[in-house]
Amino acid sequence: MSLRIIEHPSPNHEPRPEGAIVDVLMLHYTGMRSGAEAIARLCDPAAIVSSHYVVEEDGRIFRLVPEGLKARHAGVSHWRGQSALNATSIGIEIVNPGHEWGYRDFPALQMAAVADLCLEILARHPIPPRNVVGHSDVAPDRKQDPGELFDWEGLAANGIGLWPGQDGPAAGDPLALLGRIGYRTDLPLPVLLTAFQRHWRPEVVNGEADAGTLARLNAVAALVEA
């Protein structure tokens, strides 16, 4: 059964480049005080930002931009050697106040809706699990979302993205491991490690290459390359 989608068109979109293949699914939090405020901004022509979907805390799903068009959600972004990811990605904004306005857990109804929406998107596009990412993964020097409270592990259990079943060895060059996973490697190591931890080691977000982080880096790198 198809999801019930509430149409709420945003003018902030443009055609995708000719021949562009959608191969990235990017998850964000709205980082605003309410979902209504976030949707208003994403539909404001003066803001020049948008996403394809917004998922409210009660599970309602709004479509702002059709998947065939380019939304303006990623900004300056990089993943696995590709830049300007708006051209090849679908963006989902998930309502949460974010770190600035009182970051909190994502409700179960909301996460269930996110999972259902992601599964439908993945069924329509050739998006590999390694390319299901957060905004902080592709813009680690600018963004924190969707953050360490987001249930990446639960999504992976439902076939959305990657999560290691066990850690790897606590060894290796952390910058090289980050590059193998997909992160750009020309930023300060603590910035990159913090982004990695927000996604794959949320219990410790300190930007340090401790033994636990190295072990998780190796595990994720192995999954990405499997």
Please give the structure tokens belonging to residue 118: 């992601």
The four Cα atoms 106, 183, 200, 196 give a dihedral, to 10 degrees, of -80
H/E/C letters for each residue in 125-152?
CCCCHHHEEEHHHHCCCCCCCCCCCCCH
Q: Is 203 a catalytic residue?
A: no
If we measure between CA atoms, which residue out of 183, 188, 178 comes closest to residue 221? 178
Which of these is catalytic: 93, 120, 153, 208? 93
Map residue 175 onto helix, strand or coil.
helix
Q: Cβ(218)–Cβ(178) under 8 Å?
A: no
**Residues tagged active-site:** 93
